[in-house]
């Protein structure tokens, strides 16, 4: 069973992503930042949109839904049950341990609150693919807008326990700014130094920095390394509680 992925930019820095099952020709858009680029991507691939998998209610992830539904009136809209009232157009509301099918492709729903109270991620385990929305970014994480930082921390730890080979698609191209922050708090991390150089080369060439992998994030993303003594020492919090370290990291990033 093969899953085809097509990634492209929407708005200023949102990613649009399509996942396509060639066996059944069903195609899902992960979120809907902007109908225009998504419709163009579908036309370029000669794919018909059958599903929209929403991660959370923010407008830059949902505002394209009406335009997509106008073109594909039978599209099925799936999203977090805990944000159904805010999204308002869900055909299927899902939560932790539910499954979503895109043709023969099967995704487990993982609840990852923090950025928003009902945020979910879609994990296509058989293909080692995770659509993380705005919970986990390359070298970063979302802001905890609707829950305390500790809630977001525990959500990130759930994702960190996935297989290292898991490819992670995120909601935004924030990697270069995240890399600069990561260096400011974890500058002695040799793998991070190498990764930042690679990211700078990709950005200079106009290439995407995603997908990343869970293994790479575990090794270089400071928000997944709040338990590492070397990072704690770097920010002056040796022997501090992991959640307190994460909270301090997030506050520093907010101020930046």
Q: Taking the domains of the chain in order of start, what are their residue ranges?
A: 4-255
Q: Confidence band (pLDDT; 50, 70, 90) for 188?
A: very high
> Strand 4-10 relative to strand 51-53: parallel, antiparallel, unpaired?
unpaired
Average pLDDT over every residue of 223-246:
97
pLDDT at 41: 98
Q: Which residue has the higher pLDDT, 1 or 75?
A: 75
Average pLDDT over every residue of 72-83:
98
Q: How many helices (H) and strands (E) does the chain have?
A: 10, 14
pLDDT at 241: 97
pLDDT at 256: 82
Average pLDDT over every residue of 27-45:
98
Task: Please state, in angstroms and as integers, the Cα–Cα distance from residue 41 to each residue in 7, 16, 32, 131, following that order.
Answer: 9, 9, 12, 18
Token code pair at residue 161: 């326990």
Task: Please provide the average confidence, as pLDDT, over all residues in the chain.
Answer: 97
Longest dimension (CA), the chain: 56
The answer to whether the beta carbons of residues 166 and 126 sit under 8 Å apart is no
pLDDT at 89: 94
Q: Confidence band (pLDDT; 50, 70, 90) for 98?
A: very high
The answer to whether the beta carbons of residues 19 and 44 sit under 8 Å apart is no
Q: Confidence band (pLDDT; 50, 70, 90) for 81?
A: very high
Q: Calculate what percentage of the chain has a pLDDT beyond 90.
A: 99
Is the model's pLDDT at 14 over the cut of 90?
yes
CATH 3.60.15.10 holds for 4-255: yes
Is the model's pLDDT at 1 over the cut of 80?
no
pLDDT at 84: 98
pTM: 0.97
| pLDDT per residue as tens digits for the range 116-138 | 999 999 999 999 999 999 999 99
pLDDT at 209: 97
Rounded CA gap, 123 and 200, in Å?
29
Of 90, 98, 140, 147, residue with least CA distance to 121: 98
The answer to whether the beta carbons of residues 209 and 173 sit under 8 Å apart is yes
pLDDT at 192: 98
Token code pair at residue 159: 């994702």
Average pLDDT over every residue of 228-244:
96
């Amino acid at each position: 069973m093969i899953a085809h992925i097509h990634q492209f930019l929407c708005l200023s820095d949102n990613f649009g992503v399509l996942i396509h099952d060639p066996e059944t020709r069903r195609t899902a858009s992960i979120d809907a930042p902007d109908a225009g680029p998504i419709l163009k991507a579908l036309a370029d691939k000669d794919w018909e949109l059958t599903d929209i998998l929403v991660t959370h209610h923010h407008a830059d992830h949902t505002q394209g839904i009406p335009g997509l539904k106008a073109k594909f009136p039978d599209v099925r809209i799936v999203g977090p049950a805990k944000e159904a009232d805010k999204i308002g157009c869900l055909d299927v509301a899902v939560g932790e341990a539910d499954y979503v099918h895109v043709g023969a492709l099967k995704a487990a729903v993982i609840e990852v609150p923090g950025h928003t109270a009902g945020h979910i991620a879609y994990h296509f385990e058989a293909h080692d693919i995770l659509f993380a929305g705005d919970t986990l970014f390359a070298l970063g994480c979302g802001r905890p807008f609707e829950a305390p930082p500790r809630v977001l921390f525990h959500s990130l730890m759930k994702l960190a326990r996935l297989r290292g080979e898991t490819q992670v698609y995120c909601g935004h191209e924030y990697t270069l700014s995240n890399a600069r922050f990561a260096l400011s708090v974890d500058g002695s991390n040799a793998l991070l130094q190498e990764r930042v150089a690679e990211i700078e080369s990709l950005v200079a060439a106009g290439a995407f920095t995603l997908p990343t992998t869970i293994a790479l994030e575990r090794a270089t993303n400071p928000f997944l390394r709040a338990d590492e003594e070397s990072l704690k020492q770097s920010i002056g919090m040796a022997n501090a509680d992991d959640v307190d370290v994460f909270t301090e990291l997030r506050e520093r990033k907010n101020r930046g």
